[in-house]
Structures are given as C-alpha cells and as structure tokens.
Amino acid sequence: MQNLLVELGERSYPILIGTDLYDRSEALHAFIKGRQVLVVCNTTVAPLYLERLLAALSEFVVATVILPDGEQYKNLDHLDRIYSALLEHRFSRNCTLIALGGGVVGDMTGFAAATYQRGVRFIQIPSTLLAQVDSSVGGKTGVNHALGKNMIGAFKQPQAVLADIDLLKTLPERELAAGLAEVIKYGLIRDLPFLAWIEANMPLLLARDPDTLGEAVYRSCQNKAAVVAADELENDQRAILNLGHTFGHAIETGLGYGKWLHGEAVATGMLMAADLSWRLGWLAQDDVLRVRRLLLAAGLPVVPPATISSDQFLDLMAVDKKNVDGRLRLVLLRGLGNAVVSEAAAPDLLLQTLRAGKALGEVVA
C-alpha cells in the first residue's frame, strides 16, 4: 500500500493507494468520528461493492443513499436525496459521509458534506480511475446547473481517500479510458517523464495490471496534490489542472450531460488545446500528433462532435468559469509538460481550432 499526504495545513489528509483496501475496518475506523455514517453510492457500484463496505461498518449507525448513475443526475434535485436521508435519520453535525463511487458520487457527497449543517466529515472511496486520479484530490465538490457544469459547489477536503485498485477490475473499458485521459493530462501539464512512462506502459494499463495502475494513480495524485497544495482555492496556478476542460465542458454541455464521459470530453479538449498551442507557435506539430497518438492508444475520442458548431462552442465556452470579467482564459501548452493559463489566443486562431474538426493538429488548406 502506498500513502500520499495532501499538504493543506489543518486540512491535510492522506490518500491510501493499494489493493484489498476499501473494506478494511481499521482503515475506515481511523477516519470516522462519531457513530453516524451515511454511505452514498450509485446503482452501478452498489450491487458490486456496497455490501462488503457495510459489513466493515457494522459497529456504526449506518444509512445509505443509492443515486442513479450518471452525470445527468449531478444536480440540486438529487443532492436533496442526500440531505433528506441525513435528516430522516436525524444525523448530527458529528456524522461522517462516505462516497463510494465515481466522480459524480464523490462531488455530490463532498458538497453535501460541505453544506449539511454547514459542514460534516467525509471519506472518499473512488471506484473509477478518473475519480481516483482526479476528483478525489483537490477538494472541489459540487453539482451541475442546467446552465453550466459544476457551477454550484464548495471547496471541501475529505478526511481521507481510499483508492482501492481492486475496484477498477469491474470498470467498463470506456470508463478506464476516460480515467487515462486525466492520467495523460498530468504528463502533459507538468511531468514529461510521466508522459513517457504512460506511453511505454499503455498496454499494461489497458490490461489493468494492478501494480502499473497503482503507480499511475500514485504519480497522478502526486502531481495533482503538488499543484493543489500551492493554490488550494484556484486563485491562479491551479487552473492548469483544467487543461482541455474549457473545450471539454463545452462538449459536455453542448451534447447534454451524460452523452460523452467527462474524461472523453477532456481528452478531445486537450487535443484542441494542443492544436491551439501549436497554432500560437508554442508547440511543435509533432507534439500535437504525439498527444493524438497517445489518446488514440488509450481508446479515447480525438474528434469533437460535428453537431456542435464553432459558434456554439464559443457560446458555451464563454460561460465557463475560467473567464475573468468576460475575457477568455485558456489553459495552453508552452511545450509538452508545461501548461500555462493564458489569454493569448486571438479569436481567429481559436476559430481555426474550433473549425478543424477531425483535422486537429493538421494544416488545412
């Protein structure tokens, strides 16, 4: 088992990474205070893993909420189910919430923990690769709004994250790939050696070799934790973690939540960001094609949906939260392994990227 500390002063917490981990009583008990525990899960994960977790919690007063599975349910209405369960069971400020599921369950449970009685404890047990490498580090919690993704939320750090590689055995292939998109992101934004490691180990990652997956999770969380520790509330540098996300959110919102997985949208978004960086003269064309090859090797989409016009893209990107006072700020690459937050992209270059379609990274006559 590997143990990584996210350094955030009073709010520091450990990420435990390993196998045979999530239902180990002593690991859980170390982070629960009080006697009341609410486990939040979803309809996909619950049949697979909930029973073993509940068995490990037998000495607590435990309630469960099982949410429908999918980004389209990450909203205030479904959040209310968590509040209602807490209130129906008369849980006090001294209760602990446990999120057993992917990013949606983690984000919603974290936000409920941030806001139930103005804040209670919570523990993350991420069941997807994406949640293990992304949503479980950084304290971003929240829900979507019909008018924008992740627009309602809070910063809330968990007591601990238990990243159990065993849970990835049952992950659908598409979701494994979506998680790899975020793994690749850490290489692209700040860790070129890790990028090369991912390229070399892609076959083992796709074969779900536990040691290789564990290493990918560890190095991803390490990168994310370093960025978050330097800028917990995303005033500045932390925004590089959003590489591909402004484009990606536009894809998710434009298609309607749940059509593309978040990681899939981010993958294509990262290629769009790389393409735009190349058009700015910041990245070699070969680098853009290298990004594309790696995304394809992971089984990720590299062509934005044709149903979203460039005008729609612009419209959707303008409400994205990476804008200050209406100016379009994007995460771009000044070379592979070196992301920057920049307003340098002129509208005409951005339009070239938005119009490139399947020819991202290519000169179109």
Type of residue at 306: A
10 binds a second copy (CB under 8 A): no
Among 190, 224, 279, 329, the active-site one is: 224
DSSP, residue by residue, 226-280:
HHHHH-TT-SSGGGGGGTTHHHHHHHHHHH-TTSS-HHHHHHHHHHHHHHHHHHT
CB of 120 to a second copy, least distance (A): 10
Active site residue 185: no
Q: Does 80 contact a second copy by CB under 8 A? A: yes
Which residue, 177, 165, 148, 168, is CA-closest to 261?
A: 177
**Closest separation in Å from C-beta 37 to a second copy:** 12
Q: Please say which residue, 147 or 363, places its beta carbon nearer to a second copy.
A: 147
Query: Taking the CA of residue 245 as centre, how many other CA atoms within 13 Å lie in the half-sphere pointing to its CB?
Result: 22
> Can residue 145 be called a binding residue for a second copy (CB under 8 A)?
yes
Give catalytic status of residue 262 as yes or no: yes
Residues 83-122 that bind a second copy (CB under 8 A): 83-84, 86-88, 90, 92-94, 114-119
Q: Is 234 a catalytic residue?
A: yes
d(CA 319, CA 259): 20
Annotate each residue in 14-53 with x if it binds a second copy (CB under 8 A) or - if it does not, as one string.
--------------------xxx-----------------
Q: Which of 88, 254, 101 is nearest to 170 (CA)?
A: 101
In angstroms, rounded to a whole number, what is the distance separating the alpha carbons of residues 28 and 21? 9
Least Å distance between CB 3 and a second copy? 28
Q: Is 318 in the site for a second copy (CB under 8 A)?
A: yes
Among 26, 147, 363, 365, binds a second copy (CB under 8 A): 147
Q: How far apart are CA 263 and CA 178, in angstroms?
A: 4
Contact present, 6 and 230 (Cβ < 8 Å): no
Is 142 among the residues that bind a second copy (CB under 8 A)? yes
User: Does 140 participate in binding a second copy (rule CB under 8 A)?
Assistant: yes
Residue 148 binds a second copy, judged by CB under 8 A: yes
Give yes or no: 10 in active site: no
Q: Which of residues 228-247 bind a second copy (CB under 8 A)?
A: 233-234
Rounded CA-CA distance 328/88 in Å is 45
